[in-house]
Copies of this chain bind each other. A is one copy, B any other.
Amino acid sequence: MKVAIVLGSKSDMMVAEKCKAVLDEFSIEYTLRIASAHRTPETVIEIARMNYDVYIAIAGLSAALPGVIAAHTVSPVIGVPVSGKLNLDSILSMVQMPGGVPVATVGLDRGDNAALLALSILSLKDEKVRKQIIDYRKKMNLKVKEDDNEINR
């Protein structure tokens, strides 16, 4: 399987669902795991060492999860900050990685964009996925145009 979705906690499931929905639509296999950088660090390391093609790490608060995964794999790691009372905490914890170990951060609660970024990465070696993204974009483009037409009817 190509993509690992890792959740810091069961409570992040709603964000993961958006991620799964996109990957399912593209018929891309993925593993879904719950593993916490602070509560089950050995599981996080174990998953990171499996060297999936792409990692999507979803976490809130002091969101160390994507960074810890990135420390144990050279595969690209995408971080999805989860919203809470502050929001800036999870965003900055993911974006502000030190030199040498990047995390590709997407928007707050954006499980969908994490999946699309993963697909975009996979498309570099899989022309079929590339075409699927182009189709997805076209549908999205049409949907906005329909909305545009609708309000002008």
Question: CB-CB < 8 A to A141: which residues of B?
Answer: 39-40
Question: CB-CB < 8 A to A97: which residues of B?
Answer: 38, 61-62, 106-107, 110, 113
A68, B41: Cβ atoms closer than 8 Å? yes
A37, B71: Cβ atoms closer than 8 Å? yes
Residues of A within 8 A of B (CB): 8-10, 13, 31-41, 43, 45, 53-54, 60-62, 64, 67-68, 70-72, 74-76, 78, 81, 83, 85-89, 91-110, 112-114, 116-117, 120-125, 130, 133-134, 136-137, 140-141, 143-145, 147-148, 151-152
Taking a contact as CB atoms closer than 8 A, the residue among B43, B95, B104 that contacts A145 in the complex is B43
> Could you say how many copies of this chain the assembly holds?
8
Interface of chain A: mostly helix, strand, loop or mixed:
mixed
B123, A124: Cβ atoms closer than 8 Å? no
B123, A125: Cβ atoms closer than 8 Å? no
The 8 sampled A-B contact pairs (Cβ below 8 Å) are A37-B67, A40-B148, A62-B98, A64-B93, A74-B123, A95-B107, A102-B120, A124-B124
CB distance from A64 to the nearest CB of B (A): 4
A105 and chain B: residue at smallest CB distance: B105
